[in-house]
Structure 1
Amino acid sequence: MMAIHKMDRKKGLDLILHTPGGGIAATESIAHYLHQMFGNNIRAIVPQICMSAGTMLACACKSIVLAKHSNLGPTDPHISNIPALGVIEEFKRAAREIKRDQSKINVWRPILSQYRPTFIGQCEDAIKWTEEFVTNELKNNMLSIDSDKERKAKEIAKMLMDKKNNKSHGRHLHLDKLKKAGLIVEQLEDDDNLQDLVLTVHHCYMHTLMNTTAIKIIENHNGVALAKTTIQ
């Protein structure tokens, strides 16, 4: 809210994102607030990496600017650093194997006993929530004028969550793959002036903060900022 205060909202928002991700609840809240302030006139700019929940926030924008070296990342949700889709797959595999061979219960018991009560349900809810959020944001903004927005939004959301093809939550998804999937992506190198400005800002932040205790900073073009540090 500090960074948005007194900004000229009629000009829209260029949102520069450099993040490893975060929680879906916070992401949903941020997207909702930005839409309240700027409507759909929000463009995401990714100078380097924008992973996980950062990718979800980028999907809430009207377009995404990526450089040749930039990337988004898979959106499959994690609960306490445990992949929700992996838990569901493992649980189903255990059920199949035990059904075929009762002796396999001795193999699976120590694994399944680590899951606390209601954890499977939490994983299922997180998966559904993530897919619904990305699908709805794409339909309501980036793909809003596309006659086939319903199908395309669902396919993009599933691609971003596809653990089987992505293999890892840390996989880097680059410009060509994202454009092919149907996201509206602009290439940073197509505008020399914009490229110079974006990378200058990015490098200034990286060089200034990389050897400090800063873990998060939100700042606007007027220098109004909120920074969070960690105690070493």
Structure 2
Amino acid sequence: MPSWDLVQTEIKAAGSAHDILRRRYVKELSDYTGRNVILYYSGWLEKEALVRQGLTGTEVNDSDKNGFMATIHKLDRSKGLDLLLHTPGGNVAATESLVDYLRAMFGTNIRVIVPQLAMSAGTMIALSAQTIVLGKHSSLGPIDPQINGIAAHGIVEEFEKARAEIAADASAIPLWQPVIAKYPPTFVGECQKAIDWANAMVKTWLQTGMFAGRSDAAAAADAVVRELGDHALTLTHDRHINAERARALGLNVTMLEDDKELQERVLTVHHASTQTLGETAAIKIIENQDGVSFISAVNPRPVGP
């Protein structure tokens, strides 16, 4: 007969009704594809009000590596990986480290499935895969990095505009001084370095992954980076890039609607995941088809006088 402690451990492992259903659907998706499935879901949309108030942890960050280490640990890595990705993006260094780790575990046998949104650094992760699966409702975004929540391209453009106007007319100095004073002296240089770093990373990942073996791999990667990394072309960091546009860029995109059974299973996992994030304290879910999970939650505020 199991002890009280063992029963309690089993209850905690089973999780809430949200966890039980979501894990069942993730397992059914893996059974259908014959591949490993890892869910990487952020609750930045469901917890939008809290994010505006300063909630952190919904973005790609270094603590995510712990979740991926836990979920990958006992997987049969020869089956490859389907990564279900739903994220606003985040830290460039953390993104690089995460992609390096995934490739160390699975090589380039990685397919990224985007049921709704993979923006910014999320798009960078998607571009490191062999294939990206998008629905008609799915979107990628520009890969221009954010510095303290501000688009690095926007900061560089602002400084360049200030420099040009001041050079043309010194009387413009008082107008630009409050704008320039917002940033530390080295900030523009750091922004440019972040842009160059992100572009170089994505170009390398495309050449060694999605475009590997192509005679024009370097040129094709350059074209993608130029389109997705140039703020002057994408216009805004929040711009949504649909499947049709992604294909036009030369990316290896397959449509979720082409496989109705896959579509049904992916969207069921998506709905179960977003309901978990919307109806519980969870702000991020990293989980595999065996039910191994790494879930970050909102820390409750202490109650007291």
Fold agreement, TM-score > 0.5: yes
Quick one: which amino acid aligns to residue 186 of structure 1?
A: T
Query: Is 1:129–2:197 an aligned residue pair?
Result: yes
Alpha-carbon distance, 1:212 to partner:
2.0
* Paired position in structure 2 for 1:26: 94
CA deviation vs aligned residue, 1:35-74 (integer Å, no higher than 9, x gap): 0010110000011111110000000000100001001111
Alpha-carbon distance, 1:208 to partner:
2.4
Of structures 1 and 2, the one with the larger relative CO (CA 8 A, separation 6+) is 2
Match of 2:148 among 70, 74, 80: 80
Alpha-carbon distance, 1:211 to partner:
2.2
Alignment of 1:102-141 (within 5 A): 102-141=170-209
Residue aligned with 1:110, SS:
helix
The question of whether the paired residues in 1 share the 8 Å contact of 2:90 and 2:146 is answered with no
* Paired position in structure 2 for 1:142: 210
* Paired position in structure 2 for 1:179: 247
Residue aligned with 2:71, SS:
coil
* Paired position in structure 2 for 1:201: 269
Quick one: which amino acid aligns to residue 69 of structure 1?
A: H
Alpha-carbon distance, 1:115 to partner:
1.1
* Paired position in structure 1 for 2:125: 57
Alpha-carbon distance, 1:213 to partner:
2.1
Residue aligned with 1:37, SS:
helix
Quick one: which amino acid aligns to residue 167 of structure 1?
A: L
Alpha-carbon distance, 1:206 to partner:
1.3
Quick one: which amino acid aligns to residue 160 of structure 1?
A: L
Alpha-carbon distance, 1:106 to partner:
1.0
Alpha-carbon distance, 1:165 to partner:
2.5
User: What RMSD over aligned residues (CA atoms) do the two structures have, in Å?
Assistant: 1.0
Alpha-carbon distance in structure 1 between the residues aligned to 2:272 and 2:184: 45
* Paired position in structure 2 for 1:15: 83
Alignment of 1:144-159 (within 5 A): 144-159=212-227
Alpha-carbon distance in structure 1 between the residues aligned to 2:163 and 2:274: 48
Quick one: which amino acid aligns to residue 272 of structure 2?
A: C
Deviates more, 1:135-144 or 1:82-91: 82-91
Quick one: which amino acid aligns to residue 145 of structure 1?
A: G
Q: Once the two structures are aligned, what percentage of the paired residues are identical?
A: 49
Match of 1:170 among 232, 235, 238: 238
TM-score (norm 2): 0.75
Alpha-carbon distance, 1:114 to partner:
1.1
Alpha-carbon distance, 1:229 to partner:
1.1
* Paired position in structure 1 for 2:162: 94
* Paired position in structure 2 for 1:230: 298
Quick one: which amino acid aligns to residue 118 of structure 2?
A: C
- Count residues with an aligned counterpart: 232
Moved over 6 A (4+): none
Residue aligned with 1:210, SS:
helix
Alpha-carbon distance in structure 2 between the residues aligned to 1:113 and 1:162: 25
Alpha-carbon distance in structure 1 between the residues aligned to 2:281 and 2:166: 49
Alpha-carbon distance in structure 1 between the residues aligned to 2:193 and 2:298: 31
Rg bigger for which structure? 2
